[in-house]
Structure 1
Amino acid sequence: MNLNPEQITDYANTFIKVLIDYSPKLISAFIILFAGLYIIRLINRFIRRIMVKRNLDPTLTRFLADILLWVLRIILFVSFISKLGIETSSFVAILGAMGLAVGLSLQGSLSNFAGGMLIILFKPFRVSDTIEAQGVVGTVSEIQIFVTKLVTANNQTIFIPNGSLSNGNIINYSLEKIRRADLTIAISYDTNIKEAKDIITAVLKNNPKILETPAAEVSVKNLTDSAIQIAVRPWANNEDFWGVYADTLQNCKQAFDDAGIIIQPFFKESSKKNNPTEQLE
């Protein structure tokens, strides 16, 4: 197809005319876009400062600020294309269909997202708390939107999906200020029970980290086929718990050796059930 100079001139004139007629919309649309991005940035900073001053949880602050940021950006984008003269109703319908398709394909992720929101809002645990959940024990190092990161006692990092975490049982060992150690010491049937209990009681009283209130408990727990099991339950502050746990076992063993009392081994199955140290390792 050959174009003569007159046709080229007509096309150029038409293009220039359309550009001149459309330029006010184009210029105003881009002014709205750039001004809106700047204002959104200011609003986001302002909201973050307010939430920080109110001592909100850092994870909740970051999450709410990000949600607000993307909501404002979507509103700005719709305003931008509307100013350009593009019909927004069809765009919103397409956006809704895309959202439905993405939602159906990411059901698991949405479940984790909802679980993360529940954890952030209701706070069953916080960063630096020691918890037991989904069969693992660790210290919470980070609460993300989709997963929670734990660090175990042997420095392994575990990521737990928030969906299963929020729907399962959670034991928070850091929520209360004090904690009770549940120990079991087995002695033979030839041992005087009262003498053994007196020795254990003396060991507990000599440990300054063991709390006087609530009082420690020393009692017969069970009579097995091979041993008398004595329950030893001292209370300690959370930060002293594992030191009290280890010291009580060591000092009781030393005191029994000095008194000539032999600790009777009991079944391994019972040991695992009653020894939470193995569960933490």
Structure 2
Amino acid sequence: MTASRTIPPRTGLGLKAEHYRDILAAKPTLGFFEIHAENYMGGGGPPHRYLTAIRDLYPLSLHGVGLSIGGHAPLDKSHLARLKALNDRYRPGLFSEHLAWSTHDSGYLSDLLPIPYTDEALQRVCDHIDETQSAVGRQMLLENPSSYLSFEESTWSEAAFIAEIAKRTGCGLLLDVNNVFVSARNLKTIPLDYIEAYPLAHVQQIHLAGHEVTLDQMGEELLIDAHGSEVTDPVWGLYAEVIARTGPLPTLIERDANVPPLAALLAEARRADAILTLGAEAA
């Protein structure tokens, strides 16, 4: 029997091919698995066979990384059609994309790049979200970006910009807590101030990930949203502050590089579940 479509307010993991067999053998206790949509846009083969078997056991969330919601170019209608086909096939409990751009002309870039927060950009993003929700036939969640610099032309704060998008389009929000921390350190702001200003009532999912600490050309600390290491203690602390305000929400542990054995990710999931339990008890 296929697992429920609804994603519970528990911790999930990103689904990685190297873990397929371990998941099916051990059937670990988890709230859900999340897939990157672009990894499953082929018609069949082993990825779909494993995903179908895992979908029979767990709810899924579907996370897109290639739609380029913030880009100047029109959305790729064939990409939208593939997103709809995946949503229809696997009936994920949540569907999300990034507030970023990742295309130029006909090429796809390897990074999710931030945009200036202007009235023009606001209208463009809202139009793209409206088009996406109409084409896919369901609500989309929008994820806050990680930033490495600020734009002089911005006339909105990021939190206000995202709040206005949610108001105009009816989209939900995916709050990436690591992105909040990375951006705040890079822009020399206070992470909790961002959380206080953020439209938390619209948040339906949370992402947690690790980051890389490096130096910029001036020798100053620069944090990179690399998804290649464990969640850091400051990000865990910020996550606990968020859950204290929102109550328990579906929470994903992300690891897209240096992927460890499944057991290591399950340990991080248990740490997140402990915070969710405290949030439920305090509610």
Same fold (TM over 0.5): no
State which structure, 1 or 2, has the greater radius of gyration over its C-alpha atoms.
1
Give the TM-score normalised by structure 1.
0.19
